[in-house]
Homo-oligomer: A and B are copies of this chain.
Amino acid sequence: MNLTKRCALAVLFVAGLALPSFAADPLPSWNDTASKKAIVSFVEKVTKPGAPDFVPPAERIATFDQDGTLWAEQPMYFQFFFALDRVKVLAPQHPEWKEKEPFASLLKGNVKGALTGGERAMLEIVMATHAGMTTEEFAQTVKDWIATARHPKTGRLYTEMVYQPMLELLAYLQVNGFKTFIVSGGGIEFMRPWTEKVYGIPPEQVIGSSIKTKFEVRDGKPVLVRLPEINFIDDKEGKPVAINQHIGRRPIAAFGNSDGDLQMLQWTTAGNGARFALLVHHTDAEREWAYDRTSSIGRLDKALDEAQAKGWIVVDMKNDWKTIFPFEKR
């Protein structure tokens, strides 16, 4: 996607046509503050041929967390809303859920009660709703849900609750020859059906948590069946591990919003040459949400201290972002 765009630009350039107008300001939803200046300055110095910090296109790897970095994550991770909706849909096939926690509470609409079971309850909900089908069936279920389900507070589609400034940042990096990856604690197969359309990030550039799958031949047709067993948790120390496993190169830029992204930012900035690390700080209770050190979702505490100590960019959503969601623009 990014290279195709670069290619289109190269063709336009050679043909003597004008570049698209956004080249003038590639980040119109960003206020003209230090965060924006730092982004532009980094991109300019790594893309300028002959400059001391020049990085060849093949090495321009940028990794993005997804929940709280590219789209919102309150009042719960959106994938958890998907799981809850699936519990309701699947309940008729599971009469035993009426008596069995965490499902019994969920079906009565008592999410908090269901989650008193902690991590184990969460895992049971995820496995009951994410495993047991083929990969193609699951992808279709996600596609159907993401096209219709709406956020409980805004009434918007979840894919409308992406951050306009981050969409501009992704496009800006892509046009400048960066290969952009998602590196999320969320489910890899929950993201892939829609990330290309929404972010310009193709499935092969999406990294996430996963459950195991098994190859089977059913009636002569090969399928991959999703098993109720964790394969990998792509969070905290897992992020550099997954980046190495999946990409095999160290990113030169990384973008996150919580302590779950700390190790990814450490790993990225420890490489040689020019490096860039950015945290999105949720500071706008009016247009979005305000939370950091004590939040159970998207806690930003240790990473905020380290960002301040190391001079990583911390985006103040309230002051740095002119627009937060694309639907505000009208």
Q: Per-residue 0/1 for A208-251: is the Cβ within 8 Å of any B Cβ (1 yes, 0 no)? A: 00100111010001101000000100000110110011111100
Quick check: B241 and A224 within 8 Å, CB to CB? Answer: yes
Q: Which of A183-207 contact B (CB under 8 A)?
A: 188-189, 192, 196, 202-206
Stretch at the interface among A2-10, A21-29, A253-261: A2-10
Find chain B residues with CB under 8 A from A206 CB: 248
Q: What is the bound-complex CA distance between A221 and B267, given in angstroms?
A: 8
For residue A18, CB closer than 8 A to chain B, the reply is no
Given A6-B7, A221-B270, A263-B222: A204 and B247 interface contact (C-beta under 8 Å): yes
Q: What is the bound-complex CA distance between A281 and B114, given in angstroms?
A: 57
Q: A148 → chain B, closest Cβ, in Å?
A: 22
**In the complex, which of the residues A57, A189, A217, A240 has the most CB atoms of chain B within 10 Å of its own CB atom?**
A240
Q: A156 → chain B, closest Cβ, in Å?
A: 26
Q: What is the bound-complex CA distance between A205 and B204, given in angstroms?
A: 9
Size bin of chain A's contact surface: 35 or more
For residue A15, CB closer than 8 A to chain B, the reply is yes
Q: A45 → chain B, closest Cβ, in Å?
A: 21
Q: What is the bound-complex CA distance between A11 and B61, given in angstroms?
A: 24
For residue A31, CB closer than 8 A to chain B, the reply is no
Q: A226 → chain B, closest Cβ, in Å?
A: 10
For residue A1, CB closer than 8 A to chain B, the reply is yes
Find chain B residues with CB under 8 A from A221 CB: 270
Find chain B residues with CB under 8 A from A270 CB: 221-222
Sample of 10 A–B contacts (CB below 8 Å): A3-B4, A10-B11, A203-B249, A204-B246, A204-B247, A213-B241, A213-B244, A215-B238, A215-B241, A246-B246
